[in-house]
């Protein structure tokens, strides 16, 4: 369906360039994503076991289909927030580039070969480089996109170097053949292939902004438009984390596991501590992302079946909570002004109660307060780490969660209780309502309702999601 969408856009954009604006193209892309979600769910219901196609270059399983559906949902929500009044600010190819990014992520999820994984990663990355440079009139945005491109190319070189080293050791790039070679090798831990695997992990950990490869993230997120920041924070995480999960399951190497444990600790601590001194919203959320990536990498390093379920659930709740924060921020900016500093949100609850309520609920979720969905996700991760004996990581994660909760609570305090700040211009209620599309408003309401229903009946929703993860 996505390939059909690309063909449709490729034909429609040149033919209707002057008659159809960007807003209508985004709505067409949303429809394509929704149809893809429906198709994915229907395939999940009839899919049994792993299915390999194209000489085992690509495979499908219940888990990969579930992650693809999540990726399609994230992509559709990112496009649902497009403001009709911004049609002139974005090129008509905007939706097409987003579709390319999601297709790249979808191929990553299904790839069973290192070359396929690399090429699909580049397809997604090139699309994200273009998206990051959409605000061509902003010098800061262009600088951020160039920095993102250069460092992204550097990380891609690491991935390709790792693939080359592994190929020289095993004679193949197929994950199945490599796994068979490793299991049949009697030389113990594989040195050259292990070195190549470390290079691949370094490249992918850079792309998800895990410490110590995180320095690019705060600058890029700070200097890009809000909708672009939302895409950079959510779309790559779903697909690349799934690719790392596949690699970890195929190649269990002690040195790699220890390295992942160190990366998880560094990400959790740096994300929690550095976020305390931030006064700019996007930079703070960048370090929040680094902190959450640390929890995800902790799941990867454990490698047990329980941790795989915890990983999927954590990525699910992280994507939902984070994207709900950003689409609520976009709705607030549509009626007031751009939010750069935390102080720009002062007393916003008194003027925009419903939008800021969504932000507060989402912040409570990513803090991990019980019984919200974020608490269940963190509890599953920490419980899996205890079961596998990672007690040091468990204690550090607990303490860092307490530390990071302070800057989330600071945002909530500013939203609901702080007075003063710069004077805002009063906007008539009629104009406020027209600044975001109804679809955008419905998306915020649906996400907030899901998290709120989780509070009211968490056991039912937990069982439903676990059933979807384990049996679909």
Question: Is the pLDDT assigned to residue 86 strictly greater than 80?
Answer: no
Q: Are 275 and 353 in contact (CB under 8 A)?
A: no
Give this prediction's pTM. 0.87
Q: Are 216 and 151 in contact (CB under 8 A)?
A: yes
Provide the strand spans (E) within 13-170: 51-53, 58-60
Rounded Cα–Cα distance for residues 415 and 452 (Å): 19
Three-class DSSP category at 47: coil
Question: Is the pLDDT assigned to residue 155 strictly greater than 60?
Answer: yes
Rounded Cα–Cα distance for residues 390 and 414 (Å): 37
- What's residue 174's pLDDT? 84
- What's residue 117's pLDDT? 92
Could you write out the DSSP letters of every residue in 174-187? Answer: BHHHHHHHHHH--S
Q: Are 356 and 347 in contact (CB under 8 A)?
A: no
* Burial of 227 (C-beta count, 10 Å sphere; 0-12/13-18/19+): buried
Rounded Cα–Cα distance for residues 17 and 186 (Å): 62
Rounded Cα–Cα distance for residues 120 and 242 (Å): 13
For residue range 358-415, what is the model confidence (pLDDT) as tens digits? 999 999 999 988 878 888 888 888 888 888 888 888 899 999 999 999 999 999 999 8
Rounded Cα–Cα distance for residues 325 and 281 (Å): 11
Q: For the chain, which residues make up each domain, given as ranges?
A: 1-110, 272-472
- What's residue 7's pLDDT? 64
Query: Which position has the higher pLDDT, 22 or 398?
Result: 398
For residue range 272-291, what is the model confidence (pLDDT) as tens digits? 999 999 999 999 999 999 99
Q: Are 297 and 205 in contact (CB under 8 A)?
A: yes
- What's residue 408's pLDDT? 92
Contacts by 468-471, CB closer than 8 A, 24 or more apart: 468/66, 469/63, 469/66, 469/309, 469/312, 469/313, 470/309, 471/62
């Amino acid at each position: 369906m996505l390939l059909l969408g690309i063909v449709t856009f490729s034909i429609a954009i040149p033919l209707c360039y002057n008659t159809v604006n960007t807003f209508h193209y985004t709505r067409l892309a949303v429809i394509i994503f929704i149809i893809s979600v429906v198709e994915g769910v229907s395939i999940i219901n009839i899919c049994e076991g792993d299915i390999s196609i194209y000489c085992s270059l690509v495979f499908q399983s219940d888990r990969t289909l579930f992650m693809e559906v999540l990726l399609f949902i994230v992509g559709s929500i990112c496009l649902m927030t497009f403001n009709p009044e911004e049609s002139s600010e974005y090129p008509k190819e905007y939706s097409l580039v987003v579709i390319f990014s999601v297709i790249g992520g979808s191929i990553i999820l299904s790839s069973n070969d290192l070359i396929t994984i690399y090429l699909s990663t580049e397809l997604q990355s090139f699309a994200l480089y273009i998206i990051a440079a959409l605000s061509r009139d902003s010098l800061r945005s262009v600088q951020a996109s160039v920095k993102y491109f250069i460092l992204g190319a550097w990380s891609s070189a690491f991935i390709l170097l790792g693939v080359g080293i592994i190929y020289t050791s095993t004679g193949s790039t197929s994950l199945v053949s490599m796994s068979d070679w490793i299991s049949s090798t009697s030389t113990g831990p594989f040195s050259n292939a292990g070195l190549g695997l470390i290079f691949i992990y370094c490249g992918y950990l850079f792309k998800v902004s895990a410490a110590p490869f995180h320095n690019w993230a705060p600058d890029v997120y700070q200097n890009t438009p809000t909708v672009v920041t939302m895409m950079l924070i959510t779309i790559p995480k779903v697909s690349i984390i799934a690719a790392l999960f596949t690699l970890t399951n195929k190649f269990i190497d002690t040195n790699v596991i220890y390295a992942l444990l160190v990366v998880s600790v560094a990400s959790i601590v740096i994300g929690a501590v550095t976020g305390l001194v931030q006064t700019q919203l996007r930079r703070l959320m960048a370090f929040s992302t680094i902190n959450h990536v640390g929890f995800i990498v902790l799941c990867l390093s454990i490698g047990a079946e329980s941790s795989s379920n915890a990983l999927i659930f954590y990525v699910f709740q992280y994507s939902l909570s984070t994207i709900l924060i950003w689409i609520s921020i976009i709705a607030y900016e549509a009626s007031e002004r751009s939010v750069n500093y935390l102080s720009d949100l002062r007393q916003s609850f008194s003027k925009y109660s419903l939008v800021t309520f969504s932000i507060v609920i989402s912040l409570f979720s990513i803090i991990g307060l019980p019984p919200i969905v974020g608490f269940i996700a963190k509890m599953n991760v920490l419980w899996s780490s205890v079961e596998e004996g990672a007690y040091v990581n468990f204690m550090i994660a607990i303490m860092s969660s307490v530390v990071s909760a302070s800057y989330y609570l600071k945002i909530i305090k500013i939203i609901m209780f702080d007075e003063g700040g710069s004077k805002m211009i009063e906007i008539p209620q009629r104009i406020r309502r027209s600044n975001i599309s109804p679809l955008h408003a419905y998306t915020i309401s649906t996400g907030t309702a899901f998290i709120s229903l989780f509070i009211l009946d968490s056991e039912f929703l937990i069982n439903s999601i676990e059933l979807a993860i384990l049996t679909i």
